[in-house]
Amino acid sequence: MPQTIHRGIKALVDEANAEIETLSAAEAIKAAQGSDVVIVDIRDPRELEREGKIPGSFSCTRGMLEFWIDPQSPYAKPVFQQDKKFIFHCAGGLRSALAAKTAQDMGLKPVAHIAGGFAAWRDAGGPTEKWEPKKKADK
């Protein structure tokens, strides 16, 4: 007999949104102008290449988030040890809600995420730039 899923993705996203700060795209665009904010892009490289990115944002795929945040992890990234506000975004605002809640649960603060994600940012007139993957060095 198949296992019943007790909590679906909608419940998880709703719970995350109840516990974290959600910024509108306009609020995020304004906040990003400050030097005390890090915009964290959790989309994968294919999405970045296809859609572009927010200038100055820090790319951290969702799969590496916990490893990069934890200062005890061998994969820890110094950006997450800064005393700044971390504003997460994905393509449409679902993955970033989960990511921001996870980051907050791990002790990173303050954190927020952008309602509507990159699409909302772009549609609100936020700056974007083309992204190209790093070329592998020839051997």
Judged against a pLDDT cut of 60, whether residue 139 lies above it is answered with no
- Tokens 């309602």 belong to residue: 115
Domains observed in the chain: 28-123 (3.40.250.10)
With both helix axes pointing from N to C terminus, report the angle between 95-105 and 9-19 in degrees, rounded to the nearest 10. 50
Over residues 98-129, the pLDDT tens digits come to: 999 999 999 999 999 999 999 999 999 999 99
pTM of the predicted model as reported, rounded to 2 decimal places = 0.90
Q: How far is CA 25 from the centre of its chain?
A: 13
Over residues 48-101, the pLDDT tens digits come to: 999 999 999 999 999 999 999 999 999 999 999 999 999 999 999 999 999 999
Identify whether the C-beta of residue 97 lies closer than 8 Å to the C-beta of residue 13: yes
In this predicted structure, what is the pLDDT of residue 1? 59
Characterize 16-43 residue by residue with b for buried, 16 or more Cβ atoms within 10 angstroms of its Cβ, and e for exposed. bbeebebbebebbbebbeeeebbbbbbb
Sheet with 85-89, edge to edge strand ranges: 21-23, 111-114, 85-89, 37-41, 58-59
